[in-house]
Amino acid sequence: MEKKRIEGFPHVKYHRPKLTGNEMVSRSEAFYQEMEQRRTVREFDSTPIPVEVLENIIKTANTAPSGAHKQPWTFCLISDSELKTKIRKAAEEEEKTSYASRMSATWKEDLKPLGTTWEKPFLEEAPFLIVVFKQSYGMKNGEKIQHYYVNESVGIACGMLLSAIHKAGLVAVTHTPSPMNFLSKLLKRPAHEKPYLLIPVGYAKAETYVPDIQRKPLEDILIRF
């Protein structure tokens, strides 16, 4: 690729082939239809999955845009059963307290259609757990590196991660046990990394059911000017 220097920083030529209107309509429609099939699934089949699939999924998340291209994320990939058991135990301990006393009555009412409880068997059943950490700041050779728009950057990366999981034919649940600091301890992450999401990944169990929910129509979410 041709390189030129702009104010001392190398730039490379970038090109995307220009598609016709029809081509864009059909590609965007096909992608939408595919993403429309994505559902949060909490029941996993234990069939093993090549680790390369997970590596590709995480590589995809790593293509996300981020503030000043600092890529303020770390992904922990867990397949070890003993570690999964420890994570399940610690998560359930927090969730028990949350469901018993931390969550409001309205919150629990809102969760009724999903059927969630403090029990999290999927943390042991899924062949892989991905724990996403956000880096409040970076560390290189003992020096602090400033990070920007950390929540936005990591949120976008997680969206791309979930899309890649779906594209690979797998399912996931975005689990947020609260508080999540037990994950920092179990995974021995440094102080500048904070747990962001815990995402079990695998094949959906052969016979699995998901709530019969509808997505908001475009008229409800789009305001045209």
Residues lying near ligand IYR in the complex (CB under 6 A) are found at 95, 111, 114, 116, 175-178
Contact, 144 vs 138, CB < 8 A?
yes
Which is closer to ligand IYR, CB of 174 or CB of 184? Answer: 174
Residue 71 gets the label, from left (phi > 0), alpha (psi -120 to 50) or beta, of: left
Q: How far is the CB of 127 from ligand IYR (least distance, A)?
A: 19
Q: Nearest to residue 130, comparing CAs of 99, 160, 102?
A: 160
Number of residues written out for the chain: 225
Q: How far is the CB of 106 from ligand IYR (least distance, A)?
A: 11
Cα separation, 16 vs 145, in Å, equals: 33
Cα separation, 20 vs 26, in Å, equals: 10
Which is closer to ligand IYR, CB of 9 or CB of 209? Answer: 209
150-167 and 21-36 helices, crossing angle to 10°: 90
Q: How far is the CB of 115 from ligand IYR (least distance, A)?
A: 10
Q: How far is the CB of 143 from ligand IYR (least distance, A)?
A: 36
Which is closer to ligand IYR, CB of 56 or CB of 176? Answer: 176
Q: How far is the CB of 213 from ligand IYR (least distance, A)?
A: 11
Q: How far is the CB of 39 from ligand IYR (least distance, A)?
A: 13
DSSP 118-158: S--THHHHSSEEEEEEEESEEEETTEEEE--SHHHHHHHHH
Amino acid at 188: K
Which is closer to ligand IYR, CB of 62 or CB of 116? Answer: 116
Which is closer to ligand IYR, CB of 85 or CB of 178? Answer: 178
Residue 167 CB: number of other CB atoms within 10 A? 15
Q: How far is CA 121 from CA 83, 115, 153, 184, in A?
A: 14, 14, 30, 21
Which is closer to ligand IYR, CB of 72 or CB of 202? Answer: 202
Q: How far is the CB of 174 from ligand IYR (least distance, A)?
A: 8
Which is closer to ligand IYR, CB of 40 or CB of 60? Answer: 40
